[in-house]
Structure 1
Amino acid sequence: MTLTLLHTADLHGSMTDEIRDRLLVLRERADFYFDCGDAVKAGNVGVPTSPDPVWTYFRDLRCTAGVPGNREFHVSSSVFRKKLQGCSHPLLAANLHWNGRARRPLLPNSEGDFYWPKGNALPAAKVLGEIGLFGVMVPMVRERMAARFVSAFLNTDPVEAARDCVEWLRPRCRLVIGLSHIGLREDVRLLEQVKGIDILLGGHSHDLLDEPLRVGEGWLMHVGSHAFQAGLHEYRNGTLTTHLEILRSRR
């Protein structure tokens, strides 16, 4: 199987018309486009007054799927929905659950979405033909944290959530791709502990890798932050290679 993947992460409100136009050129060369979280400008506890423009940019770029980061998250379900207002592509978060009674998903369902019966707030995984996707985000509110008393959501362990997803996806798909917003070090731990992941695309720690890392049975790639560059990755015959494409100057 040969695939070309476009990958961004941690944009933090840096997307502009010019960067969108550069990404559009790259998007024409890619089979899929994945974003790995913290795309919006608002902070963790910020309450936006209008939809973040990044969602319109992602729509223009035909973003295939993404994973929410800590910047998209909020303990209030109404504010979390406000932060996601305008998002038209699937967001996957296998370790994001409703705290108590399950409610309406944060985003409308799309074809191929998979939810665990225990009450995901967003899809845990997604099947796109022969490709299986899952997403895991940085745990913001855990079961033993005091914040659980005021949060509409609870996060479970990303490694355990990923393992459950892979066990479900592997028999159904030729290739399993993970979208992660837990940071480089935790991504390495995840790949060391969970077998069956072919590619893990990451974000959160703002790390920029010159080339993909081989960890266990899978490939791991991080592409930095703030829209300075994007990754155009090629997966061919079990090997992942990348071209880091400059989107804007650091000056």
Structure 2
Amino acid sequence: MTKVTILQINDSHGYLESHPEFYWKGSKEIYRNAGGYARIASLFNQIREEQPGNVIALDNGDTIHGTFPVVSSRGEAMVSILNALNLDGMTAHWEFAYGPDHFKRIVEKLDYPMLAINCYDENTDDLVFPPYHVVKRGGLRIGIIGIAATIVDKTMPAHFSEGIYLTMGNEELPLYVTHLKEEESVDLVIVVSHLGYPQELKLAQEVPGIDVLLSGHTHNRVYEAVVVNGTIVIQSGCHGSFIGRLDLTVNGKVQHFRHELITIDDSIPPDPEVEALINTAVAPYKDTLRAKVGETRTALNRNRVMEATMDNLLLQALLKTSGAELAFSNGWRYGAPVPAGVITLNDLWNIIPTNPPVSLCEITGEELWEMMEENLERAFSRDPYNQMGGYVKRCMGLNIYFKVENPNKNRIQEFFVNGKRLEKSKTYTACFVTTQGIPERYGENRQHLDVSAIDVLQEYIEDYSPVTAELQGTVVPI
């Protein structure tokens, strides 16, 4: 019998330090601080000391983007911190936000491999990154396969995928599983994926021979591992607030496992070396980012699928600045919550770290209906492989009532704009941020205003502090 421990971090979104995190307690929302790479490093080191030579640590991606120190350094601020974790492999999604060429330069500085069986050079059809990596732990040969986020070239801004294309990876995966077992003689196969929990459960059902599938992208807090087609599947929240621990007992195959979703809280002492690296990374921005912008009466978060208070604040600010009838932003999952009270400049950068310009367009009622049906399909498709969104697109100025269970293009029952029934032949003015707010194929007379999202948020909060941004029932399943 051999014991192996797998440690998972996924979707940390560049949250180097401890931050507020959202929890449910019965029907109540509560907020407690969690996360921080110094504590994650400390936990990893502790587990490695307990089980020397038997630990594998893996990262599912959405790592080197999401907070001001990380984005302003184009990911460079995280390199030394990530290397200090002694990871064994990683895959990617928002890492492509700096463009594939810059991402590859970051990868060259990492002490561990970036893995993706489904990311190709569009000119040569060659893989951009290695498809797998083999490590030895506890006398076992363990194959690690990576699958990057397939949506990088489908729903993300165009610069994410310059010169590359991505597949789902479901056709390639069986070939690599077979190769690892027959040609590399591995004892275990681990897949580290950024497709999303629904997609990865389907993948595990389709592809035999995977021992462990580490899931990412959808920010699921999986408190109890599930077994699908003999594959153990876990996912471990987001923002570095949680770490997944999976202890395996292996004798020819996995005989037994124990899973724990560990909260990274102040009961874990920070590792002093990693804490020093973090302090160096954030020091140039600390005083600026802690500046008070105003206050909020509403706790701001992104913990609901249909609508979120954090995005309602952003949309209120967009409407006030633009004078448009409607406002849209993407259904982002990332962004640490802001409890009721003080809002700092750091909070604004956490809400929308790309700080895009505010845009305007004219869009017909017909296009609005089609765009929202498309978005609902990407959120709730019966086929997980067709789920390509974050949460439902964030909207203000409209009310949609829809049937989740209906098929594609037939979900919306009622559609109102500012209290009046949508007229498909009418043209409306809409403001938005990024092409994920309103994709380029919708609307016309698109223009960028000479103002960015952070400026708009800051001005709005300063003018209306203390602000409120309650849920309004904009998109409602019936």
The AA in structure 2 aligned to 1:14 is Y
1:132 touches 1:176 (CA, 8 Å); kept in 2?
A: yes
CA distance in 1, matches of 2:81, 2:73: 18
Distance 1:61 1:80, change over 3 A: closer
Name whichever structure is richer in helix by fraction: 2
Secondary structure in structure 1 of the residue aligned to 2:94 = coil
What amino acid sits opposite 1:23 in the alignment?
A: F
The residue correspondences of 1:207-218 to structure 2 (distance < 5 A) are 207-218=220-231
User: Cα distance 1:206–1:98, how it changes in 2: closer, same or farther (>3 A)?
Assistant: same
Contact 2:65–2:71 under 8 Å retained in 1: no
Give the structure 2 partner of residue 152 of structure 1: 163
Per the TM alignment, residue 162 of structure 1 is displaced from its structure 2 partner at its CA by 1.6
Matches within 5 A, 1:75-224: 76-84=99-107, 86-101=109-124, 118-129=125-136, 130-139=141-150, 140-141=152-153, 151-171=162-182, 172-224=185-237
Q: Which residue of 1 aligns with 2:90?
A: 66
| Letter aligned with residue 143 of structure 2 | G
**Other structure's SS at 1:159 match:** coil
Question: Which residue matches 1:246?
Answer: 263
Give me the TM-score of the superposition, normalised by structure 1.
0.81
Q: Which residue of the other structure, out of 1, 24, 32, is the alignment partner of 2:45?
A: 24
Gaps of 5+ in 2: 17-36, 267-336, 340-478
Q: What residue identity is the alignment partner of 2:260? A: H
235-244 vs 89-98, which moves further: 235-244
| Residue 163 of structure 1, CA deviation | 1.7
CA deviation map 1:154-204 (0-9, x unaligned): 101221122221121122211111001111001101001001101001111
Does structure 1 residue 226 correspond to structure 2 residue 250? no
SS at the partner of 2:178? helix
| TM-score when normalising by structure 2 | 0.44
Report the alpha carbon displacement of residue 24 of structure 1 after superposing the two structures with TM: 2.7
Report the counterpart of residue 394 of structure 2 in structure 1: none
Runs of 4+ more than 4 Å apart? 145-148
Q: 2 CA distance for matches of 1:191 and 1:155?
A: 19
SS at match of 1:38: coil
**Cα RMSD for the two superposed structures:** 2.9
Of the structure 1 ranges 28-37 and 174-183, higher mean CA displacement relative to structure 2 is found in 28-37
Give the Cα separation in 1 of the matches to 2:120 and 2:225.
31
Aligned residue number for residue 80 of structure 2: 56
Q: Where do 5+ consecutive residues of structure 1 fail to align?
A: 102-117
Offset of 1:78 from its aligned partner? 2.4
The Cα shift of 1:147 comes to 5.1
Q: Give the Å deviation of 1:17.
A: 3.0
Higher Cα radius of gyration:
2
Shift of residue 75, structure 1, vs aligned partner = 7.9
**TM-superposed deviation, 1:80:** 2.2
**TM-aligned CA distance change 1:8 to 1:27, over 3 Å:** farther
Q: Which one scores higher on RCO, CA 8 angstroms, separation ≥ 6? A: 1
SS at match of 1:207: coil
Q: Aligned AA for 1:204?
A: H
Deviation digits for residues 30-58 of structure 1 (CA, Å, limit 9, x no counterpart): 51111111111248xx9754543333222
Q: 1:72 to 1:146 in 2, by over 3 A?
A: closer
- Tell me, what secondary structure is at the counterpart of 1:62? coil
- Aligned residues with identical type, % of pairs: 23
Q: Deviations over 1:36-89 (max 9, x none)?
A: 11111248xx97545433332221121111112x21114843232355463221
Provide the rounded CA distance (Å) in 2 between the counterparts of 1:62 and 1:21. 12
Between the aligned partners of 1:13 and 1:146, the Cα distance in structure 2 is: 19
Q: Is the 8 A contact 1:75 1:151 kept in 2?
A: no
Separation in structure 2 between the aligned mates of residue 14 and residue 178 of structure 1, nearest angstrom? 24
Q: What is the alpha-carbon distance in structure 1 between the residues aligned to residue 153 and residue 102 of structure 2?
A: 15
